[in-house]
Amino acid sequence: LVVLTFLLVANLPASFALVAPELNQKLVILGLGRVGNECAKAASDSFEQVVGTVRSSSGQKDDGILRVSLDEVEEHLNDASHVLWTIPLPKERDESLKGLIEKLESQQDKSRWTGMISTTGVYGNHDGAWVSEESPLLCTPESNAHLYVELEQRIMKMG
């Protein structure tokens, strides 16, 4: 498992070359928004197929990325060699994200690379102090960011 920070997105082509040395592999990106789309573009030369989840407009576009809804993604997760979570932090607490993690957990026995691009929101309020990856997670239990902490912990257990 790799938990990536936003700053690493610029270096993703090199990262994908390391995790996907064989071109016949399939990457599923959960959350094909701005960050997910950049990741998909960066990964397109390293994977035979790149699939990304979107809210609507499923299908193939000119960029070669297959867009599917969250309801359609399970069949693609079945044969994915790599899964990257880039779903942004929701504005309101969204428990349905746990269902997506449960899908991944149900396939935990599959040997595959799993990564997540997280959010700095998980660190909570540090009253202006510098925050690093070693900083404690101070988000409140009722916050959306805390839901993300829960999701990150579950994904890391899959590692």
DSSP string computed for 20-31: --STT-EEEEE-
Q: Is 99 helix (H, G, I), strand (E, B) or coil?
A: helix
pLDDT band at 108 (very low <50, low <70, confident <90, very high): low
Is the whole model's pTM more than 0.85, yes or no?
no
pLDDT for the residue numbered 11: 52
Average pLDDT over residues 130-149: 86
**Torsion of Cα atoms, 45 then 50 then 53 then 54, to 10°:** 60
pLDDT for the residue numbered 146: 83
Give φ, ψ of 100 to 5 degrees: -65, -40
Q: How far is Cα 87 from Cα 71, in angstroms, rounded to an integer?
A: 15
pLDDT band at 106 (very low <50, low <70, confident <90, very high): confident
12-69 pLDDT tens trace: 555 555 555 555 689 999 999 888 998 998 888 888 999 999 987 666 677 889 999 8
61-102 pLDDT tens trace: 778 899 998 888 888 998 898 889 888 877 776 667 777 778
pLDDT for the residue numbered 45: 83
pLDDT for the residue numbered 103: 81
Q: How far is Cα 99 from Cα 63, in angstroms, rounded to an integer?
A: 29
pLDDT for the residue numbered 2: 46
Residues sharing a CB contact under 8 Å with residue 42, sequence separation 6 or more, in sequence order = 9, 12, 13, 16
pLDDT for the residue numbered 133: 84
Note whether 51 and 78 are within 8 A (CB).
Answer: no
Q: Is 6 helix (H, G, I), strand (E, B) or coil?
A: helix
Of all helices (H) and strands (E), which one includes residue 67? strand 66-68
pLDDT for the residue numbered 29: 94
Note whether 37 and 61 are within 8 A (CB).
Answer: no
Amino acid at 29: I
